[in-house]
Amino acid sequence: MSERGALLFARYAYPPNELGYCGPADAGTLLRTEETAGIERHARRFEGAWCYLELLAETAGLADPLDERVVEAYWIGNELLDLTTPTVLLARLRDRFDGQWGGTWRDAADRALAHHTFQVFDVYPWAGLLRGPARPTALSVLDRCRIRTGVVHAVRGESATVESRPLRWTGTGLAPGPPRRESVRWSTGGRSLIPGITPGDVVALHWDWVCDVLTPAQAARVESTEARQLTALGLAPRR
């Protein structure tokens, strides 16, 4: 088991796990960086993410679903995404998600991607609620659940002020809105999954948490993968 991959998984999985949205109980397991075997056991119980990691590893010929390259492919994106075809992915998802209410993934033969954006926008039901009375809730969940990029403006204790661009509904689709500043966390109770952050850092955000400090290439990949998925789903704004 790759310790680096396990810790990378924990960085992105902790925020929704802490909120009780996915994964098993005791999200604090993911903060115990000295116990990577425990993180691995915890990760295997993420019913959504784990099936993507398994498939990415298999198609890349890697034995470990927590290989750092596999974990990066799912949360951020890299060349491993190109090795898995939509047909193969959908066959795997039918085993995992058949019977689950909502979502458009069954009709996604042209856009299925083993990436977190596909789970957020196609497997979860929220995108389908954007054209109805539940739009405010759906938009908020989609914005927070996706991995988004931001720039750190200030750090104060275990919190930071970060500028990011929230999703907005244009009337025909989703697009990044004007920049806004928000207060997020990067540490809790003296425990963090990253060494620290400084003003000017470009970071990955998941719910109200800083997951990682990104390279320019990684930030561009997060943004371009989301744009690709929204276009394929028909949710990119029309010009």
CATH of the domain at 142: 2.30.30.140
- Domain annotation covers residue 92: yes
- Domain annotation covers residue 211: yes
Could you tell me the CA-to-CA distances from 197 to 8, 158, 185 in Å, in that order? 16, 10, 11
SS3 237: coil
Q: Do 227 and 132 share a structural domain? A: yes
Alpha-carbon gap, residue 153 to 99, rounded angstroms = 44
48 has a pLDDT exceeding 80: yes
Each residue's pLDDT tens digit, 28-42: 999 998 889 999 999
Q: Do 132 and 95 share a structural domain? A: no
Final residue before a domain boundary, out of 67, 94, 117: 117
- Domain total in the chain: 2
pLDDT score recorded for residue 238: 64
Binned at pLDDT 50, 70 and 90, residue 165 comes out as very high
Residue pair 114/74 in contact (Cβ under 8 Å)? The answer is yes
pLDDT score recorded for residue 239: 58
In this prediction the pTM is: 0.95
Q: Do 229 and 137 share a structural domain? A: yes
Alpha-carbon gap, residue 141 to 207, rounded angstroms = 9
- Domain annotation covers residue 123: no
Mean pLDDT across 101-117: 90
pLDDT score recorded for residue 97: 76
- Domain annotation covers residue 239: no
Binned at pLDDT 50, 70 and 90, residue 141 comes out as very high
* 217: containing domain: 128-233
